[in-house]
Structure 1
Amino acid sequence: MVSRDSAKASPEQLLYADLLFYGCWASIFIMIITYVIYVAGLANPHIPLDQLPHLWRLPVGDFLAQSGAPHGWGWALLLGKGDYLNFLGIALLGAMTIIAFATLIPAYVRQKDMAFLVIVIVEMAALLLAASGILGAGAH
């Protein structure tokens, strides 16, 4: 049995872990800052605060129609609005795994480790496909 002290992480594993760690904290920091911007009214919202209680009671189709809220990736066009600005941190948090996986590709190419290279590429493709909304399974 391998003891915990004798287990060594490869440089690739450490880079992956560091990117996830710092990227997730950066995402949370961005969410906090953008929330403060929204609550302080420093950026005008797409949906005025006084309309929210009425709109929240509606079925989703009616909510989208009456509020003009986008669906899918349409939120990215509204990043200048206070109520959609906080999606930036959420999107970064969701993308951190893909970003961290991407950093593994050069190392596995250099090492000629085809098994791990294929696993990383397939995993990234699956995550990107899920996030794209192409499958129509309510990914976002």
Structure 2
Amino acid sequence: MTPAPAGAAIAQSTAQLRYAAVLEWGTRIGFAVLLASLPAYVLGWLPGHVAPEALPQFWSQPVADYLRQTGSPRGWAWLALLHRGDVLGLAGIGILAGCSAFALLALVPLYAARRDRPFVALCLLEILVLVAAASGVLVE
């Protein structure tokens, strides 16, 4: 396969453009949430679950000890603490981690309209794997 000449436009499929657009917006939103959560937490605009000045005493702790000592939730229970500045950063990470699932979901109607069943199945299967991994089902 020879590379395209310099300055030549490379045609992108509708599916590639849709996937890229959803991924771009998802990453922008996730990054914005991350950027907003830091000053909200550090400057005290949103109260933290763990106060910033208390963090150094927990840095060297194993995760299980940190969770126990701070009363932090396990699993998906952190969603109930989104009003806390330090936990809001996890929402940004969650959005970034979930971007590809939403981008794949955006492709399903496109492939379904084309009656491209193998790609519909592949997208849905990939989403299922991502959701299963995020849910903790795959953990021992």
TM over 0.5: yes
**Structure 1 counterpart of 2:75:** 72
Greater mean alpha carbon deviation, residues 33-42 or residues 51-60: 51-60
Shift of 1:118: 1.2
Alignment equivalent of 2:16, drawn from 10, 13, 18: 13
Alignment equivalent of 1:88, drawn from 91, 103, 110: 91
* RMSD of aligned residue pairs (Cα, Å): 1.7
Shift of 1:27: 1.3
Greater mean alpha carbon deviation, residues 3-12 or residues 52-61: 3-12
**Structure 2 counterpart of 1:103:** 106
**Structure 2 counterpart of 1:27:** 30
Residues 54-100 of structure 1 deviation map (CA, whole Å, 9 limit, x = unaligned): 22222222221111011221211110111101111111111110001
1:48 aligns with 2:51: yes
Shift of 1:6: 6.9
**Residue type of the partner of 1:75?**
W
Q: Which runs of 5+ in 2 are unaligned?
A: none
With over 3 angstroms needed to count, the CA separation of the structure-2 counterparts of 1:50 and 1:6, relative to structure 1, is closer
Q: Which runs of 5+ in 1 are unaligned?
A: none
**Secondary structure of residue in 1 paired with 2:58:** helix
**Residue type of the partner of 1:16?**
Y
Matches for 1:109-120 after TM superposition, within 5 Å:
109-120=112-123
Between the aligned partners of 2:2 and 2:105, the Cα distance in structure 1 is: 30
1:133 aligns with 2:125: no
Identity of matched residues, %: 34
TM-score normalised to the size of structure 2?
Answer: 0.88
